[in-house]
Amino acid sequence: MALKAKSPDKKEKRLKMFVYGPAGVGKTCGVIQFKNSVIIDTEKGTDFYSDTINKANSVVLQTLNPDEIREELHSLLTEKHQYRTLIIDPITQVYNSTQAKWTRIFESYAKSEKEKAVQDFGMRYWGKVKSDFKGLQRLMLALDMNCIITAHQKDIYGTGMQKLGVGPDSMKGDDYLFDLVFRVERSGNDLIAFTVKERAEIGQNKFPETFSWSYDNFVKFYGKEIIEKEATPILMATKEDVVKLKGLLEVVNVPEGTVTKWLTKADCNSFIEMNKDQIDKCIAYLQKKLDEINKNGGKK
**Is residue 233 included in any domain, yes or no?**
no
Question: Do residues 75 and 214 share a domain?
Answer: yes
Q: Is 172 in the same domain as 255? A: no
Residues 223 and 247 both lie in one domain: no
Query: For 85-104, how does the pLDDT look when each residue is reduced to its tens digit (9 = 90+)?
Result: 999 998 888 998 998 998 88
Count of domains for the chain? 2
Q: Do 142 and 268 share a domain, yes or no? A: no
- pTM, 2 dp: 0.83
Q: Are residue 103 and residue 244 in the same domain, yes or no?
A: no
Q: Is residue 275 included in any domain, yes or no?
A: yes
Are 200 and 122 part of one and the same domain? yes
User: Which structural domain range is residue 244 located in?
Assistant: 239-295
284 and 135 co-located in one domain = no
pLDDT digits (tens, 9 = 90+) for 133-176: 888 888 888 899 999 999 988 888 888 778 888 888 777 777 78
Give the end of a domain, one of 205, 227, 249: 227
Average pLDDT value over all residues in the chain? 88
Spans in the chain with pLDDT lower than 70? 1, 111-121, 297-300
DSSP assignments along the chain, one per residue: ------PPPP-----EEEEEE-TTSSHHHHHTTSSSEEEEESS-GGGG-HHHHHHTT-EEEE---HHHHHHHHHHHHHS--S--EEEEE-HHHHHHHHHHHHHHHHHTT-SSHHHHHH---HHHHHHHHHHHHHHHHHHHHHSSSEEEEEEEEEEEE-GGG-EEEEEEESSTTGGGGSSEEEEEEEETTEEEEEEEEE--STT--SS-SEEE--HHHHHHHH-HHHHTPPP----B--HHHHHHHHHHHHHS---TTHHHHHHHHHT-SSGGGSBHHHHHHHHHHHHHHHHHHHHTTS--
